[in-house]
Amino acid sequence: MKPFDYERADDTDGAIATVSDDPTATYLGGGTNLVDHMKLGVAEPGKLVDITKLPYDFVETLPDGRVSVGATVRNSELAASHVIRQSYPMLAQALLAGASGQLRNLATTGGNLVQRTRCAYFQDPGTPCNKREPGSGCSALEGWNRHHAILGASEHCVATHPSDMAVALAALDATVVVRGSEGQRRIPVTELHRLPGDEPERDTVLEHGELITSVELPAPSDSARSAYRKVRERASYAFALVSVAAVVEVDEGTVRDARIALGGVAHKPWRAEAAERELRGAPATEENFRRAAEAELEQAEALRDNAFKIPMTRNTLCAVLRELTREDRA
């Protein structure tokens, strides 16, 4: 591992100034992804600014009913929070579907969002990878790509985003609050992560030095139902092959609103807008669920090893919609 300086931040602006002024500096949260990357030689920061003691360890309900989650709240604490379990059970489900108990005790809300792909080539500095080393080529394109993207990929990168939490946040229409040297800005979580295009080295729209300070959840809805379902190669402690986060509102058998995000299929949590359009105003029937899933997957493109993800995504989405509308269809 390359030598680096370590600093524990005690105020946000100081931390932001330190990282902004030093192109080799980066923030350290729980470290579960970053420390691993430093061991592997995937990341070689010259300075780490530890933000875990900054005052962002909170889950609070705002006066207008929205809920604000601080960036340093551990994944385990967030999943156990009563507000989250009661009002956003889908988010708790997604958090609990990720990693292991030990890792959730370290991993933070902000760090979960900016964790990087688990593409085997990205994590192996001995192989070409455009995300790790722009211009070197993509080993996964013609290589082992069972876990890779079927939606929104490019000829430069076919990696997927590994987070479960971020998929739930995308379906919840959460907002990410970010601070940088120019002040604060708010980014819809669906716009935080990028598609690879010809700059796969950029996972998010964040500029160097910008720090996620909190995530805001819209006020909970009484009439909406939600669920997170994850399909993986073993029952626990594995990344998603495919996951579905869905929020639906059904009135007298008709879908009034549907917000769907897919995990494990793209470079970012994939908001299934085509499926949502098909569903809004349509009767909540199996046939319509299937039509919606197929509308979304019209744009899907399989690689050598991951064609199974297309029917798997369709079936998982249909199963989640069936589960959420069981009573309406009875």
Q: Closest Cα to residue 322, out of 227, 257, 252?
A: 227
Q: What is the spatial distance between Cα 292 and Cα 75, in angstroms, rounded to a whole number?
A: 32
Instruction: Tell me if 39 contacts another protein by CB under 8 A.
Output: yes
Which of 52/139 has CB closer to another protein?
52
For another protein (CB under 8 A), the number of binding residues is: 37
Instruction: Tell me if 172 contacts another protein by CB under 8 A.
Output: no
Instruction: Tell me if 130 contacts another protein by CB under 8 A.
Output: no
- Span of 17-25, 207-215, 233-241, 242-250 interacting with another protein by CB under 8 A: 233-241
Which of 1/62 has CB closer to another protein?
1
User: Around Cβ 221, how many Cβ atoms within 10 Å?
Assistant: 13
Instruction: Tell me if 80 contacts another protein by CB under 8 A.
Output: yes
- Span of 27-35, 59-67, 112-120, 152-160 interacting with another protein by CB under 8 A: 27-35
Q: What is the spatial distance between Cα 56 and Cα 52, in angstroms, rounded to a whole number?
A: 8
Which of 79/248 has CB closer to another protein?
79
| Cα-only R_g, the chain | 20
Instruction: Tell me if 97 contacts another protein by CB under 8 A.
Output: yes
Which of 18/181 has CB closer to another protein?
18
Which of 74/179 has CB closer to another protein?
74
Q: Closest Cα to residue 143, out of 132, 161, 158?
A: 158
Q: Please report which helix (H) or strand (E) contains residue 165, including its range.
A: helix 165-171
| Whether 172 contacts 162, CB under 8 Å | no
Q: What is the spatial distance between Cα 277 and Cα 255, in angstroms, rounded to a whole number?
A: 11
Instruction: Tell me if 237 contacts another protein by CB under 8 A.
Output: yes
Which of 24/299 has CB closer to another protein?
24
Among 10, 58, 62, 100, which residue interacts with another protein (rule: CB under 8 A)?
100
Q: What is the spatial distance between Cα 225 and Cα 239, in angstroms, rounded to a whole number?
A: 25
Cβ at position 157, least distance to another protein in Å: 23
Q: What is the spatial distance between Cα 206 and Cα 16, in angstroms, rounded to a whole number?
A: 13
| Cα dihedral 32, 180, 271, 143 sign | negative
| Whether 177 contacts 184, CB under 8 Å | yes
Instruction: Tell me if 93 contacts another protein by CB under 8 A.
Output: yes
190: tokens are: 């669906």
Cβ at position 279, least distance to another protein in Å: 26
Interface contacts to another protein, rule CB under 8 A: 1, 3-6, 8, 28, 30-32, 35-36, 38-39, 48, 50, 52, 76, 79-80, 85-86, 89, 92-93, 96-97, 99-103, 105-106, 235-237
